[in-house]
Structure 1
Amino acid sequence: MLALAGFALLHTGLARMAFFELFAYVKGVDILGPTVVRERPTDSPYQRWLETARAEIPVFEGLVIEDVASIALRPWPQMGAGVTGLYLRFADYQINDGRLLEIPAGGSTVSQRHLYEKGVYVIGGSGYTVFQQEGKAADRVEWGPGDLFSVPLNVRHQHFSGGDGPARLLAITSFPLVLNVMADEHFVADNPYVFDERYDGAPDYFDAVENNHDIMFAANYIEDIRKSGLQPYEYRGEGNTTIRWFMAGNSMLSLHVSEMPPRNYMKAHRHSSDAFILFLSGDGFSLTWPEGAYHKRQRIDWKNGTLFVPPTYWYHQHLNTGETPARHLAINSPALVKNLGLRFSDQLDVDVDGFEEEWRRELAKQQREGG
């Protein structure tokens, strides 16, 4: 009789979920939905590299950095004399990583080339980058706060701090993906192949801008994305705007900026590509949670300079509680996973139960504290 009662209990939703969570714990997998799990990589080429690298480079792990402009950095001599930084390994990502670098006044990074793509955002300071394609004249690109550019694949390049103070850069790269595919660090970092179709040394390469679609532009350098014009994007919610850039012929990294109006939010969404999100203006918070488990949501408060990543295939939703628009830069890999047939994404057009009440309480709280 007791066995029959237990069997009946197992068929209730609560008991099924408890059994599923126990199964996931025993198997060492992440629960992404009521019937969906993700196997955690345990011995990938990237993870083996990371375990060795921990002893040599300043690794930072987590989901969020409160302020990329002020976080303390550590010496990173492999990147150049006097260079400090953090290697960003977030959310168990296996496609993209990040590097936060500060170049001392008058200093530079080492010259390098590599088979992974790299998007660079200038957090502070000024300087320039020298690009040298084999057999071509060197190209020099000046940059300052808010600028965004992408390094053409496998082109030798070197960053220089050109002002009276240090220059701080945030770079997001596809190094984990490429290393996982090639399984050979030296092949990735010391390969002579020249991708002429991506960068041919043309003198206007970093100046040209082409509009491919209402919200899609081809460009290799954008001046101060904090002020760049955006296009309506109501799909993410009323009053939302965006612009997307196809940069440097990239097939692994995609870059876009989106903005929410004051006291408003974006619809919750999720996708199967790693995503680094840097807030450029405004004040608010983001929520992230696995499917069917809103009660397990994590809250990330953000401001200008906060860097945040949602765990793989978790819903995430950005909410602007301030009186001014809130803008963010996102670097992820939707085109890559689409080309692999692994582009899974969806958006909640109807908010989860309890969200609206929570949002109204937050707005009222912000109004009381601000007034």
Structure 2
Amino acid sequence: MTSFYEKWLNYWDEAQQEKSSARRKLDIEEVEWVETPQDAAVGLLIAPETGFRTWGSETMLAEIPVGWKTGGHSHGEEAIYIVSGAGFSIVDGVRYDWKEGSSLAIPFGARHQHFNTGDVPVRYYSAMSVHLEHWVGVHRTTQYETCGKFTSLPSAEKSANGLSPDGKRVALNIEDAYIRVGGEGGGAAQPQEAPRFEGDKPLVVGDISGMERFMHTHKHEIREFMRVGRDTNGFEVHQMEISGILTDAPRTRGGKHAHMEAHLFIVDGEGYSEVDGEKIPWKPGTSVHIQGPQTVHQHFNESDQYSKMLRIAPGIRYFFERCAKSTFPYLYYDVRQS
């Protein structure tokens, strides 16, 4: 009989086999749209149900028809990006307006509902950790109202600045987002230096904080929304972050690096990513999964326009990035180039 310890000895090889057979990307045409009590149309993107080996997280895309509202419900923490359209959300009784490019953070357990008040369908991108919550026994989704057409809009106190009554950020318009690299404004400058590589050896930067010294050599522009464990734009998130938008100039490649798990969603541009030696083509609407813990990858913009991709990371990534930093450090291999 195999003992528990023999199983432990096999876990690493078992995980590598699962990752090698798991899905790496999903194009928008492959999304399986369904109707739920919460959404008129919603499809899972990177999730265990669609063949990805995630760390307990999942991303999805949902649509709100013109003149419709979503259902009203509560669950664990959720990060949202508005892909298209305009409207508002009611979160724990407060109204937060949003438009294309806005980002939102729904606190754990907060009751919320979204309304499309524009003249085009709304599409919103959502990131949660339902599987991880379920595994540890804290997940509970409660449905209060189903989706459908609205005949009148709810009366609710409106947040003038996207902050909740206790001062935490719930909604942020894209023009107000912190710009770490490129653009104008965005806050205090970050310490930067030139990476020094030794031959083909990667630079061991340790974690995301170590990598930030070289972001100016990594991407054309990084527009940050929210970060786990950090006060970024006033957001306070713990489980999931939509970090922001990573931009590469036309006909360029970004820096080559390796780190823990991340989800990517292509907003603009066409090109491909090399992920552990595999070429993965992408276009607007494509989702790409960086599995971790040290997945080597690089992004190539083959188009004549700026490529823009959302970067999403689960909070548990940063937990392991800290405690396993000496075993699986963040690695930097090469800088961005034309």
Output the TM-score relative to the length of structure 1. Answer: 0.61
Q: Which residues of 2 match residues 19-38 of structure 1 at below 5 A?
A: 38=16
- Corresponding residue number in structure 2 for 1:331: 312
Shift of residue 259, structure 1, vs aligned partner: 1.9
- Corresponding residue number in structure 2 for 1:222: 172
Cα distance in 1, alignment partners of residues 290 and 104 from structure 2: 24
Could you tell me whether the CA contact under 8 Å between 2:249 and 2:306 is conserved in 1? yes
Cα distance in 2, alignment partners of residues 139 and 219 from structure 1: 12
Q: Which residues of 2 match residues 185-224 of structure 1 at below 5 A?
A: 185=139, 188-190=140-142, 203=159, 206-207=162-163, 219-224=169-174
- Corresponding residue number in structure 1 for 2:86: 126
Identity %: 19
Letter in 2 for 1:206: G
Q: 1:239 to 1:308 in 2, by over 3 A?
A: closer
Report the 3-state secondary structure (helix = DSSP H, G, I; strand = E; otherwise coil) of the residue aligned with 2:333.
coil
- Corresponding residue number in structure 1 for 2:262: 275
Letter in 1 for 2:292: T
Cα deviation code 1:100-149 (max 9, x no counterpart):
111222222221111x22111112222221111xxxxx211222222211
Could you tell me whether the CA contact under 8 Å between 1:29 and 1:40 is conserved in 2? no
Give the gaps of 5 or more residues in structure 1.
1-26, 32-36, 42-60, 133-137, 192-200, 209-217, 290-296, 364-371
Report the 3-state secondary structure (helix = DSSP H, G, I; strand = E; otherwise coil) of the residue aligned with 1:74.
coil
Which structure carries more helix by proportion? 1
- Corresponding residue number in structure 2 for 1:169: 124
Q: Aligned to 2:244, which of 253, 256, 274?
A: 256
Q: 1:346 to 1:309 in 2, by over 3 A?
A: same
Cα distance in 2, alignment partners of residues 270 and 280 from structure 1: 22
Cα deviation code 1:267-323 (max 9, x no counterpart):
222223x3111222232211111xxxxxxx222222333221122332221112333
Q: 1:38 to 1:249 in 2, by over 3 A?
A: same
Cα deviation code 1:72-101 (max 9, x no counterpart):
653322324xx1111231521133101211
Report the 3-state secondary structure (helix = DSSP H, G, I; strand = E; otherwise coil) of the residue aligned with 1:77.
coil
Q: Aligned to 2:254, which of 239, 249, 266?
A: 266
Cα distance in 2, alignment partners of residues 262 and 234 from structure 1: 24
Shift of residue 156, structure 1, vs aligned partner: 0.3
Letter in 1 for 2:268: S
- Corresponding residue number in structure 1 for 2:273: 286
Letter in 2 for 1:253: M
Alignment RMSD (CA, Å):
3.7
Q: Aligned to 1:75, which of 19, 31, 34?
A: 34
Q: 1:204 to 1:156 in 2, by over 3 A?
A: same
Output the TM-score relative to the length of structure 2. Answer: 0.66
Cα distance in 1, alignment partners of residues 271 and 323 from structure 2: 34
Which protein shows a greater Rg?
A: 1
Cα deviation code 1:174-198 (max 9, x no counterpart):
222211111x64xx3359xxxxxxx
- Corresponding residue number in structure 2 for 1:92: 53
Shift of residue 38, structure 1, vs aligned partner: 4.6
